[in-house]
Every structure is written in structure tokens, then in C-alpha cells.
Structure 1
Amino acid sequence: MVPAPDALMRPRDADALRAELRRIASLSKLPVVFGGEVNAGTLVLSEFVGTRTNGMRGLAVAPSSGLGGAAVATGRPRSVADYRSASTITHHYDAPVLGEGLRAVVAVPVVVRGEARAVLYVANRDSGPIGDRIAEAMVAAGQRLGVEFTIRDEVDRRVRLSAAREAASGAKAVVTEQLRDLHAELRGLTQSVSDTQARNRLRDITERLARVVSGVVDPEDGVNLSPRELDVLAQVALGCTNAEAAQRLSLRAETVKSYLRSAMTKLGAHTRHEAVVRARRLGLLP
């Protein structure tokens, strides 16, 4: 079976299988109804109604072997009117089946996207064909269960996809914050670089970093912040107060406030947060 991403989120498929078997038992009035799930192509019998022995419990049925294996391999219902003398199936499991006294048997696979995921059985201890009404009810039960498994698979797929997206988003957010910290640190370092060419080179690197993180390849014209205004805004983007930004940039708090006010005016922003958002949209900040 397809594993659920969280056992608490997906009900047990065996419970749905058991419910269908009980419904079939009530409708068909046949003495024995049983079935099991298919894992890696092997059918394992696990659910029983009306059996007298434990001979078939946990029986692993290989593909194409026996009646159930034939149903798994073909993806189609299979039946025998007398299991003991049937020539259309292999007889690998005669001991447990005949030990239970089963003669007439119908096996219906539960198919999902062309693959058998379970098999439903009805059986009689007398030989002779099992009626069409019961066979049709079996097929309908198999189809219902197939739809149920399909829905559960789709829910699981969407949950896994959502979880993967959240994980990727979370990882991206962590990297982005680290790059923003790095950007602000590099902007702060420009003050300690006395060589003009090196300082300009360092500022160019931070501008390229901002464009890469923000995703803005070609910044729009019209908003030109001075290097000092960008230095201050980079610290503000990290949540620094004016005093903290001043300490990091070796400036006076009033000077930081002045640069920030100027940057906000150029960006058409009314708050610090708005200034940071607009600067990021323009590719001026990461």
C-alpha cells in the first residue's frame, strides 16, 4: 500500500477493507467472506468473516498463484465453481483453502491506477457457481474501495506536497535572512575601508547581492539612495532601532534618523517598514 505521511491523518486502509467485507457478508449471505491488502505485488490475507480455522490468516499469496494471485496479476475478477478440481488456477494454497472447506470462490481485485491494492473474496462450502447478483455486488464493492483508496492517495499526495513546499519555504526564509544579515554587515564594513576603490567595490557587491536576493534583475530608475541612506536602511531592515543602527555604523543617532528620513522621502514611504518593503521591491535591499 501507499504509505501515509502521518498515521493519524490517513485512516487504516484495512478498516475500510473490513467494512466492505462485512457489507458483502450481510448482502450475500454466503458463509465465508475474506480479503487482504496487496503489498509489493503480494496479497496478504488478513480480514475474515465466517471462517472456522486460522489456516488462511496471514497467508501470503504470490502474483498469479492461486485464485487471488490471478486476480492481482490480471486486475480482473476470477472465480471457480469448485476449488478442489479447478484447472484454471494453481494449487499452491490447497491445504489452507481446502482445510477451511471452501469450494466455490470469487475473488475481486481493488484496482487503483491499474494496480491491485487489495482483493475481496466470497466463498461457499458447496460447489457450484456463485450467482451473478453476488458477483455484481462484489465488483461494486471493489470499485467503491478503489475510489476510497484513490481519494486517500490524493489527500496524502497533497499533504506531502504542501509539507515539501512549507519545508522549502522555511529553508528559503532562513537563507534569505542569513543573506540579509550578511548584506547589512558588508554595508557596515564599508565604513572601515579607507581605500575608496575598495569601498566602492564592496558597495557594488552588496548591491548585486540585494538584486539577487530580491529577484530584481534590472532595478527601476527614479529612486537613487545614497550609500549612507542604504547603509542605514539595511540596518533598519534587520529590525535595528536608530540607536542600534548608529552603533553599528559608527554614526550619531540623529544622523541615522536624518538618513532614514531622507530615504523614506525618496521612496515615498510613510513608515520604516514601508521604506524597507519598497526598497526590496526595487532591488535596493535583499
Structure 2
Amino acid sequence: MGAPTPRGRPPNVPRDDAGSVRSAVLALQRTTGLPMVFGGAVLGGAVPGGGQDRLRITELVGNTTDSLSGLVVHSGSGLGGKAMAMGRPVWVSNYPCSASISHDYDKPVGREGLLSIVAVPVVVRRRVRGVLYGALREPLSLADRVVGAAVDAARDLEQDLAVRDRADEALARARPGTSTARWEEVRAVHAELRALAEEVADAPTRDRLREASLRLAAAGLDEPDASPRPALSPRELDVLSYVAIGCTNAETAGRLGLLPETVKSYLRSAMRKLDSHTRLEAVTTARRAGLLP
């Protein structure tokens, strides 16, 4: 099969975690070409106190049966459970004969015909949030390249989840009120979301973060404006969001990982599109257009 088995979001699995695991599974299949790649998110893994003891496998590529779809793996049980408990990658070259793991899931694994399997935990802030698996239907040792690719995919997923956590925390701080101090916090969160979006490798995640920043910006409008908004590029808006909270060009460059001259170039372009002659005028115009909070 060339795409994950379509599944709804399981109960207690954070929507962002499940979606991120799906993207990571697809990326791992593309980079390794393994006949089967699968994974899942830990139930309640993104919720403090939500527990890290159970994983539900929801994303599968290359499966020939539904035996593993929806399977709940407990910490310490089987290969994936061992990876969860130890917090590090584990692999076997002949699953049914391995003495290093428990065999709680031999039946579903056997129905799928998997023999050589690697399981890599996804760990964010010392919490296991998911597991990625890659497998062969032959009793062969997995190449270092394949194991390395699985580890890299897990690390990329960890980074995306960490960024999303920071974005969620930033949004939680943004409670628009009437005070100037409160709006300054909203504007700082908006700039932070713009910067976080650039740190995410997953395009859908990046788009969602940018959309969240636009919703914050629109919250500053007394009434929706039906007129077309100036078409600023994402980077122009990133730069302007930091200028709006009082950052210098050098500070903006540091926040966004750009050169100061590059920041100046983006700012000049944004000012031209906003028909503004000063930084302050550009910020004011962008706020009136609903581009900045």
C-alpha cells in the first residue's frame, strides 16, 4: 500500500501528535523504501499526567492486513513497548525467535509476516510521545542506514512536537483583553508563532501555525474588513511582527535567524506594499488591515 490506512483520530490521542506521526511515517517510508513502516502516538502523551504507558498504532504504510491497525502496545511489552520503557531505539532480526523481548503481540505481528523490525521512541521533554517502526518480512539484519533513517525521522518528529508544544503554550498566554499590557502580550505571542512556524519542517504544521497567527491578528479588528488585505509574503510578515513589538533590525534578525541586511530588505518590501514611509506607519497600516494584532 502506498499511503497510511485511513483512520479517524483515536480517543485520547492529541490531534497534533497523531497528524505528526502520520507525516513521519510517510517520510520514513520515502527515505528507506522499507516494505512496511508504521507508528502511533502515546495515549494522552501530550497531556501532563496523561500517562506514557500505552501506545495505539494508527499509521501504516505497506501493510497487507489490518492486524496491527489500532493495536494498543503497553510500555515494556513487545518491541515497541521495550523502546517506550527504555527511551531508546531497539531492533530484532527475527521477531518470533527473539529472546530479548516479550511476545505479547506475536499473533498480529505474525499475521502481517514481519520478522526484522526496528522501533524508535519519540521523546519530547523526557516524555515518550510515540513510536516509529520499520520492518522487513525477511529475517535479515537491518542496515545501519535504515536504523539511522528511523532515528532521524523520530528526531524530526520530536522537533515538530516540541515546536507545537511551544506554540500551544504561546496561544494559551494570548487572552485578548482591554489592557495595553495584555495586547502587548498578544503581539509578542503573534511574533513568536510566526518564528516557530519557520522552525517546523512539516508544511501542514507550518501552515497551521501561520493560520493561528492570522487569527490572533484578526482579533485586533473592531469589525471584519471586507477589503482586500495587502499581500505580504510570510517572511515580510515575520519581520514586521517583530518590528511591531519594538525589536530593532538586529534583534529581529537574531529572532528569525536572518542577516540584518536581509531583515532590512524584507522590511523595505513590506513598507512598499503597505504604501508606508516609516516603520511605525507600516505597523499601523498592517494592524488596520488585520495582518498584525
What TM-score results when the alignment is normalised by the length of structure 2?
A: 0.52
Query: What secondary structure does 2:174 align onto?
Result: helix
Matching of residue 25 in structure 1 with residue 37 in structure 2: no
Give the CA deviation at 1:14.
2.0
SS in 2 for 1:127: coil
Rounded Cα–Cα distance in structure 2 between residues aligned with 1:12 and 1:31: 26
1:72 equivalent in structure 2: 84
Dislocated runs of 4+, deviation >4 Å: 166-170
From the two aligned structures, give the one with the greater helix fraction. 1
Alignment partner of 1:145 out of 138, 153, 157:
157
Alignment of 1:52-63 (within 5 A): 52-63=64-75
The equivalent of 1:12 in structure 2 is 16
Partner of 1:158: 170
C-alpha distance after superposition, 1:160-182 (max 9, x if no partner)? 1223xx57979x9xxxxxxxxxx
Q: Percent identity?
A: 39
CA deviation string 1:246-281 (max 9, x = no partner) = xxxxxxxxxxxxxxxxxxxxxxxxxxxxxxxxxxxx
The 5 A counterparts of 1:178-217 are none
Report the alpha carbon displacement of residue 159 of structure 1 after superposing the two structures with TM.
1.1
- Where does structure 2 lack aligned partners over 5 or more consecutive residues? 1-13, 44-50, 183-293
Contact 2:17 2:129 in 1 (8 A): no
User: For 2:109, what is the secondary structure of its paired residue?
Assistant: helix
In 1, Cα distance between equivalents of 2:153 and 2:178: 40
Alignment of 1:83-232 (within 5 A): 83-163=95-175, 166=176
User: For residues 149-201 of structure 1, what are the alpha-carbon distances to aligned partners after superposition, in whole Å with 9 as ceiling and x for unaligned?
Assistant: 000001101111223xx57979x9xxxxxxxxxxxxxxxxxxxxxxxxxxxxx
Q: Is there any run of 5+ residues in structure 1 with no aligned partner, and where?
A: 1-9, 173-286
Q: Note the alpha carbon deviations across 1:214-272, whole angstroms, 9 max, x for none.
A: xxxxxxxxxxxxxxxxxxxxxxxxxxxxxxxxxxxxxxxxxxxxxxxxxxxxxxxxxxx
Question: Partner letter of residue 23 of structure 1?
Answer: A
Task: Report the TM-score, using the length of structure 1 for normalisation.
Answer: 0.53
Structure (1 or 2) with the larger CA radius of gyration: 1
Mapped to 1, the partners of 2:65 and 2:178 lie a distance apart of 52
- How many residues align? The count is 160
Tell me the residue number matched to 2:213.
none
* Cα RMSD, aligned residues only: 2.1
